[in-house]
Amino acid sequence: MSPQPVNTRHARSVRDVVFVDGVRTPFGKAGEKGMYHGTRADDLVVKCIRELMRRNPSLPPERIDEVAIAATTQTGDQGLTIGRTAALLAGLPQSVPGFAIDRMCAGAMTAVTTTAGSIAFGAYDVVIAGGVEHMGNHPMGAGADPNPRFAAERLVDPAALNMGNTAENLHDRFPAITKERTDSYAVASQAKLAAAYAAGDIQPDLVPVAARRPSEGFTLRTTDEPPRPGTTLESLAGLRTPFRAHGRVTAGNAAGLNDGATAAVLASAQAAEELGLSVKMRLVSYAFAGVDPSVMGIGPVPATEKALAQAGLGIEDIGLFEINEAFAVQVLSFLDHYGIKDTDPRVNRYGGAIAVGHPLASSGVRLMNQLARQFEQDPSVRYGLTTMCIGLGMGGTVIWENPHHADFGKDA
């Protein structure tokens, strides 16, 4: 018998992935009255990339191995392989490659997890990952051509292609989640965001943007446009229900249509140490899951179950939750599943998308930015998660570890 060939290649080991830094533009309202009307989407994400490089001077631009940028509508100023074009426009070396991602609302989250997997594998050391959505330039679903088989073969309820309808369906499935509860949750989201602004917790992650609206001069945008501080239950009670007559979903208890961009630096733990980069979080696990598209908002539940199982953790181990507030009913369905109170202080301490906005593919990194800042403020918390529902029936969850906790990395 001939001897077996000897594998002389080095065995690979999975490397720790850390969240170094993240930034975002102020979020704007979509449409002609919004502050980014007349501003290009790619220019918004370029602002984020440039700010990351400014804030991290010990990171040589040539050490960036990849730029992954998400956009739900990949055409016009959000097209042309936006990860690559944004890298070039931001002044990164031509040697730095880039690509585009689409997972609807979880675009930036997927940009993070996809490149993080490559870092763990050893293909990359440092990456930039983020997302952008200019819903004023690209209304959700504009130009889409759903295959007629979806309706003809009843693969997907046609109503499920409208996210507002899926939120109404969640109300039907969970009658304990009343309109009064969702309105109360929305009021709290607005109040928490206002308190976070007053405490200076939001501003450090914002990139000022000089935006010029048509026929107007440049204005420096430094704060989010969508928040409605002072919102009350009374002011929400009379809002119309556009997705169903006598429904429960309104503009007050759902995220709006918004413009904005985000970006983050991720690195291997070794590269972060070598380059003197900060470590704001360590990635523990991540998972995506599919659900019936007609109840899209329940997606974070199975995604979280998968991510917890991968990490060997239970929901009781999670000390902070950043849940994207596409709709209040979607957040409350998650909380009810795990027996978490609507007012639990671990949940969305700075408020959420109902108040600050949800520019689709960009929102995942906003959640991460806010969790990282809360980790810094609260070293008693070891694990936190970012989670979101995703159009066409999906959910995504990423679990992170707090480097400020006394037991950080002990059993990593």
pLDDT at 118: 98
Listed in order, strand segments (DSSP E) in 206-317 are 209-212, 218-221, 258-268, 281-290
Model-level pTM?
A: 0.95
12 pLDDT more than 80 = no
Lowest-pLDDT choice from 43-47, 147-151, 219-223: 147-151
Asked if the structure places residue 12 within a domain, the reply is no
What average pLDDT does range 121-143 have in this prediction?
95
Asked if the structure places residue 333 within a domain, the reply is yes
pLDDT at 69: 98
Q: Which of 37, 48, 105, 138 is catalytic?
A: 105
Asked if the structure places residue 29 within a domain, the reply is yes
Q: Which of 37, 134, 171, 389 is catalytic?
A: 389
Total residue count of the chain as it appears in this document:
412
Chain segment 24-39, per-residue pLDDT in tens: 999 999 999 999 999 9
Chain segment 364-387, per-residue pLDDT in tens: 999 999 999 999 999 999 999 999
pLDDT at 140: 87
Asked if the structure places residue 204 within a domain, the reply is yes
Rounded Cα–Cα distance for residues 109 and 101 (Å): 10
pLDDT at 150: 83
Asked if the structure places residue 405 within a domain, the reply is no
Asked if the structure places residue 146 within a domain, the reply is no
Q: Is 48 a catalytic residue?
A: no
Asked if the structure places residue 149 within a domain, the reply is no
Whole-number Cα distances in Å, 280 to 18, 272, 373, 375: 7, 11, 8, 8
pLDDT at 5: 52
181 pLDDT more than 60 = yes
pLDDT at 4: 54
Chain segment 196-250, per-residue pLDDT in tens: 999 999 999 999 999 998 888 899 999 999 999 999 999 999 999 999 999 999 9
pLDDT at 153: 87
DSSP string, 183-229: HHHHHHHHHHHHHHHHTTSSGGGBPPEEEE-TTS-EEEE-S-SS--T
- Please count the structural domains in the chain: 1
Asked if the structure places residue 404 within a domain, the reply is no
What average pLDDT does range 291-313 have in this prediction?
97
1 pLDDT more than 90 = no
Block residue for tokens 């969850």 = 397
Domain coverage including residue 245: 17-138+157-399
Chain segment 48-92, per-residue pLDDT in tens: 999 999 999 999 999 999 999 999 999 999 999 999 999 999 999
CATH number at residue 78: 3.40.47.10
pLDDT at 157: 79
